[in-house]
Amino acid sequence: MTARVLTPETLRNIVLVSNPAITPDGGKILYTVARINIDADTYESSISLLDVATGFEEPLQQGPSDSCPIPAPNGRHYVFIRRVERDRKQRGQPGLELRFASIDRPGASRLIARVHGLVSVSWSPDSLRLAAAIPVGLPDEDVKVVETLPVWFNGKGFIYKTQVKPFIVDVYSGYMEEIKLDDVKWMQVADIAWSPDGRKIAVTVSRVMEKPYLRDLYVYYLDEDRAELVAEKLSGFGEIVWSPDSRYIAYLGHRRERGFATHNKILVFDTEDRGSEPECLTCSLDRNAVNTANSDVRFSSCLKKLQWTRKGILFVASDHGRAPLYSVEPGSEPTIVIDPGEGVVDEFSATPDGARIAYTRMTATEPREVYVSDGGNARRLTRHNDTWLSRYKLSKPEKFVFKASDGVEVEGWILRPPEGVEEKGWVLYIHGGPKTMFGYGFMHEFHVLAGRGYTVVYTNPRGSDGYSEEFADIRCRYGERDYQDLMEAVEYVIERYRLPRDKAAVMGGSYGGFMTNWIIGHTDLFKAAVTMRSISNWISMYGTTDIGWYFVEDQICCTPWRNFEHCWEKSPLKYADRVKTPTLIIHSNEDYRCWLDQALQLYTALKLHGVETRLAIFPNENHDLSRSGKPKHRVKRLQLILEWLDEHLAGKKEEEKAGREAGNA
């Protein structure tokens, strides 16, 4: 009997659980449940309410496009987002509704505001108003006349006329008023937070268009209708949270000590001692204080990545493929409060006293479910994925560690085909970033590959997250130590796991696509390659994408006018004339992170150099096709990958050719 294994279509089984928002008394958890409807080609999301004591669950909002519940401090109300369909005539109309509802009245809700997006919301302590960061300004309908940077942004489209501004919104009347920050002409607000004493609103904002990664921290005093600058030129994530006494602000980010390779840290600013240096609470940890574990089964969330409870500041950090929840207080060292074992704490929210924490956890073999922890006792509250999972065979990845040639330990995992599945070959899968990590996030795609008979090997080479800041820092040196780590990993697994040298493929997305392109230009070891949302030319990358001009300068250490030669040396396209590996190129036509030109240039070069190549362009998709693309496109993408591997590793093409020839004879 053949084993029942994950296939592209089993995406439909996965229930995407997100946004576990606990009420202030710790009695209830509001969260989003999303299903992937392949036939209707849509994600259907609703909001559920969990009673923590009994585990009893009831629907709060039926959907089909409701998400992001945020409970009010009074514990009785909440706001959420409803996505509304717009027909062609309504183009330009806001696609999101911000709604207000009572926890004890399932199904009912009232419209507060129609918006084009919502970057962040924070309740006033009296539960009457919200501080909200809202995008305003639309692109021209027809000819686009542009005078700003960037022209477009991945997942958002043409944003050249869009600014994200801070507002105060009355949840009862819907009355909105912009918060005026002194001297800020152009702005992109990253986060907003209402102080517990109700008197102040903190805002982090980018105000230099050419350097949008720099953020300033403001405090707006409601009584005086006046904003003051607290800190300048911060970078990183940009999330903020107030201390319970409304004096300090914890900022999640950094000062770019190692450019984009810098770990996000918790920096605490004293708003009553302006100009004083912030205290860094996580510097000793030397880990990125956000979760960067890769997974392709997440759904949008509005929960903050930081929370300051009366027991300390909670945050998740990336560590060796895992993501524990930590707590830290000024003057102390971070300690783990929720250890997810071989898993990741994906999102969390806590009661103000810090006594109870709701969170989602996932592992490499289980998508997210909701858990609750009361000071050490963790309980799982939902089982959305248990039944279907019990009907399928999923293998468990095995971790390996090897010493790279410079003596540094590098980690990786091997996922074998489930028992009963014929082994056809293996794949080296390279993650994006490069500052993200593989580890204990659920990857449907990996189980699909394994289900088809392909062992998946995935590692965290130099440049990855989950280790020290130094480990993540490969600036100016792409294609050097990272490439070596990967190729040394290949030799290690071939020997240790007896993997066939002549049945290997390489694949990856984004930076992983860059590295795939680089690898096929530097070795002929692989029998096939799949390069997705990839980078092939740093020179054109610089001027065509949403983050290109500053990402390239920081990571590759060149611009088209400075070190041009270095930009070209580090571009896989330079080595395209050496490539022999059959290569499948997958790209989305609205990928404004790594624009389509990256795929086209590679495709043309490979074609002209006689390399077997196939190019798949996905319409109306962006850089996140594999994670949040239209369900039918996600299925198609996986099918294309499997076909390519079958043709090149499992000899499907030869078999078909032989069959055709036999038929003709």
Ligand X SMILES: CSCC[C@H](NC=O)C(=O)N[C@@H](C)C(=O)O
Catalytic center residues? 510, 623
Position closest to ligand X via CB? 432
Q: How far is the CB of 552 from ligand X (least distance, A)?
A: 7
Place of tokens 């300048």: 232
Q: Phi and psi at residue 537, in whole multiples of 5°?
A: -145, 110
Task: Count CA atoms closer than 13 A to 46's CA, side-chain side.
Answer: 14
Which of residues 20, 238, 324, 432 is near ligand X by CB under 6 A?
432
Q: What sections of 311-393 are H helices per DSSP?
A: 386-390
Q: Which of residues 153, 167, 467, 511 is near ligand X by CB under 6 A?
A: 511
- Binding-residue total with ligand X (CB under 6 A): 14
With binding defined as CB under 6 A, does residue 587 bind ligand X?
no
Applying CB under 6 A, which of residues 360, 436, 459, 581 lies at the interface with ligand X?
436
Q: Shortest approach of ligand X to residue 279 CB, angstroms?
A: 29
Residue with tokens 């089993």: 10
* One character per residue 119-148, x = contact with ligand X (rule: CB under 6 A): ------------------------------
Least spacing, CB of residue 432 vs ligand X, in Å: 2
Question: Which region, judged by CB under 6 A, interacts with ligand X, from 20-28, 55-63, 327-335, 428-436?
Answer: 428-436
Distance CA 475, CA 486 (A): 17
**Nearer Cβ to ligand X, position 106 or 155?**
155
Print the binding letters for residues 93-122 with ligand X: x by CB under 6 A, - otherwise: ------------------------------
Residue 462 or 623 having the CB closest to ligand X: 623
Beta-strand ranges (E) seen in 482-567 are 504-509, 528-532
Assess 593 for contact with ligand X (CB under 6 A): yes
φ, ψ (nearest 5 deg) of residue 363: -130, 180
Window 623 to 662, contacts with ligand X (CB under 6 A): 623
Among 463, 509, 582, 631, binds ligand X (CB under 6 A): 509
Nearest-CA neighbor of 168 among 196, 134, 144, 138? 134
Member of 510, 559, 588, 613 binding ligand X (CB under 6 A): 510
- Return the number of the residue (206 or 395) whose C-beta is nearest ligand X: 206
Q: Count CB-CB contacts under 10 A for residue 102.
A: 14
Binding mask 533-562 for ligand X (x = CB under 6 A): x-----------x-xx--x-----------
In the complex with ligand X, which residue's Cβ is closer, 548 or 582? 548
> How far, in Å, are 199, 270, 271, 272 from residue 276 at the CA level?
22, 7, 9, 9
CB 238 within 8 A of CB 191: yes
Distance of alpha carbon 378 from alpha carbon 286, whole angstroms = 27
Give the range of 113-121, 272-280, 432-440, 473-481 binding ligand X by CB under 6 A: 432-440
Nearer to ligand X, 120 or 588 (CB): 588
Shortest gap between Cβ of 541 and ligand X (angstroms)? Answer: 6
Decide whether 260 or 426 has the Cβ nearer to ligand X: 260
Taking CB atoms within 8 Å and a gap of at least 24, the contacts of 631-636 are 631/11, 631/12, 631/36, 631/37, 631/38, 631/41, 631/42, 631/43, 632/38, 632/41, 634/8, 634/11, 635/8, 635/9, 635/11, 635/38, 636/8
User: Would you count residue 212 as binding ligand X (CB under 6 A)?
Assistant: no
- Rg over CA atoms, the chain: 25
Give the span between the Cα atoms of 352 and 372, in whole angstroms: 15
φ/ψ region of 557 (left if φ > 0, alpha if ψ in -120 to 50, else beta) reads: left
594 binds ligand X (CB under 6 A): yes
Task: Give 204 or 540: the residue with its C-beta nearer to ligand X.
Answer: 540
Pairing of strands 42-51, 57-61: antiparallel
Q: Indicate the residue among 397 and 432 with the shorter CB distance to ligand X.
A: 432
Q: Does 429 bind ligand X (CB under 6 A)?
A: no
Contact positions toward ligand X, by CB under 6 A? 432-433, 436, 509-511, 533, 545, 547-548, 551, 593-594, 623
